[in-house]
Amino acid sequence: MIKATRLTAAAILMGASALSVSAEGFTPENPECIAPANPGGGWDFTCRQVGKSMQDLGLIDQTMQVVNLAGGGGGVAFAEVVNKRGDDNDLIVAASTATATRLAQGAYPGNTMDQVRWLATIGADYGVIAVAADSEVDDLPELLDMIKADPASVSVAGGSAVGGWDHLKVLIAANAYGIEDVRTVKYIAFDGGGEAVTQLLGGSVQAFTGDISEAKGFVDSGDIRVIAVLSPERLPGEFAAFPTAREQGVEAIGANWRGFYAPGDMSDEAYDAWVGQIAALYASDEWKDIMANNGLAPLDLQGAEFESFVSDSVAQIQSISREIGIIQ
C-alpha cells in the first residue's frame, strides 16, 4: 500500500516564481486556442477566459478563436498539434496537470512532452469532489464509506480519461481514507468536466471529481454540492463555505496547474511573445480578480522554468502511477 503522505506531497505540484519575458516583435494575426475537451470544463474555461482577458487588456488585437477538440484525455488535440500544426505561430493549447498525467502514463501514443513548447501557467485549480444538490450523501467520509462497503454501488465521474488527473484525485482521497486497493474505485471518464456533471445531474453517477473552476457554475446554479475541496485549508471568499477533505479527516490534497503549450516548431520570436503576453496577463489586477472569483491559487511560471516544472511533474506522476498499478 502506498503511503498517503507520498501521494499528497506529489499531488500538490505547487510553486511560485516570476520571470519577465519580452513580448515585443510578434503579434498573432489569427490567435487561436485549442481546448482539448468539450465546452464546460477546465480547459474550455482556460481558453475562453484567457482569450477574453487578453483582448480586454490589449495584449492581442484580434478575438481569440476557441476550438474544442475533445478525445483521449487531450490526446487528440496533442496529436493534431504535433502532426499537423507544428509550426503554427498563432496557436496555443490549454494544458493542466491532466496533460502531464497523460504524458506520464504514455497515454498519448508516440507523443512526448518535448514535442511541444511549454509557455506559461495562469494559476492552479484545487480539486473538488461533489454530489448532486439533492444527493443523500452529506460529506466525504460518507461517500468513501459507501465505496469501501460496496465499490460497485458508487460511480464517480470526471472529465479526464481513466488514469488521468481527475481519476487520480479520487484515488488519493480513497487511499488517504484507508481503502487499500484503490483500483476498486469505480471511475467513469467523460470528455470534459461539463459532460461529467451532466451525467451526475442525470443520476447516471453518484459523485463528480473535478476542479473548483469547473464546479463553480454548477454550484451557483444550485445543481451540485461540493462535499470536499482538496486544498490544505479552506479557500477564501465565496469558496470558504466548501469544506476541505483534510478537516473531515481525509489527508488528501490535489492542485491542478493550468497553463498553455504551443507547437514544437513555433518560432522563437512568437514563443517569446506568447510567453510575455501570458506573463503580462498574469501580473494584471484584472487577472488577480478572475483568479479570486474562480478559486485559482497562485502559480506563476514561464518559459524554461515552466518546462522544467512540467518535466518534474511528469516524473512525479509516473512514480505515483506505478505505485498504484496504473502503469507498470
pLDDT tens, 165-216?
899 999 989 989 999 888 899 999 998 888 999 999 999 999 999 998 888 8
- Give yes or no for residue 12 having a pLDDT over 70: no
Average pLDDT rounded to a whole number, residues 1-19: 36
Mean pLDDT across the chain, nearest whole number?
Answer: 90
Same domain, 75 and 178: no
pLDDT tens, 309-322?
999 989 888 887 88
**CATH for 59:** 3.40.190.150
Same domain, 75 and 30: yes
Same domain, 141 and 213: yes
pLDDT at 326: 82
| Helical (H) or strand (E) element with 178 | none
pLDDT tens, 148-165?
999 999 999 999 888 888
Spell out the SS3 assignment of 18-78: CCCCCCCCCCCCCCEEEECCCCCCHHHHHHHHHHHHHHHCCCCCCCCEEEECCCHHHHHHH
What 176-184 contacts at long range (C-beta under 8 Å, 24+ apart), as own/partner pairs, is 176/4, 176/7, 176/8, 176/245, 176/250, 176/251, 176/252, 177/141, 177/144, 177/148, 177/250, 177/252, 178/148, 179/144, 179/147, 179/148, 180/1, 182/324, 183/324, 183/325, 184/147, 184/151
**Full domain range(s) for residue 243:** 127-248
Same domain, 274 and 194: no
Q: Does residue 64 belong to any structural domain of this protein?
A: yes
pLDDT at 24: 55
Q: Between 214 and 122, whose confidence is greater? A: 122
Same domain, 235 and 163: yes
Same domain, 279 and 220: no
pLDDT tens, 183-197?
899 999 998 888 999
Number of domains forming the structure of the chain: 2
Closest CA to 81 of 265, 267, 263: 263
Same domain, 238 and 195: yes
pLDDT tens, 25-38?
799 999 999 999 99
Which residue among 219, 248, 277 closes a domain? Answer: 248
Lowest mean pLDDT among 48-52, 114-118, 172-176, 264-268: 172-176
pLDDT tens, 260-287?
999 999 999 999 999 999 999 999 999 9
Same domain, 227 and 80: no
Q: Does residue 72 belong to any structural domain of this protein?
A: yes
CA separation, residue 284 to residues 18, 122, 209 (Å): 13, 11, 30
pLDDT at 15: 34
pLDDT at 319: 81
E strands, 223-315, where? 224-229, 255-263, 296-297
pLDDT at 322: 84
Lowest mean pLDDT among 113-122, 129-138, 311-320: 311-320
Average pLDDT rounded to a whole number, residues 289-296: 91
- Give yes or no for residue 18 having a pLDDT over 70: no
- Give yes or no for residue 5 having a pLDDT over 70: no
Using N-to-C axis directions, what is the helix angle for 165-176 and 140-149, rounded to 10°?
Answer: 90
pTM of structure? 0.77
- Give yes or no for residue 83 having a pLDDT over 90: yes
Which residue among 208, 229, 248 closes a domain? Answer: 248
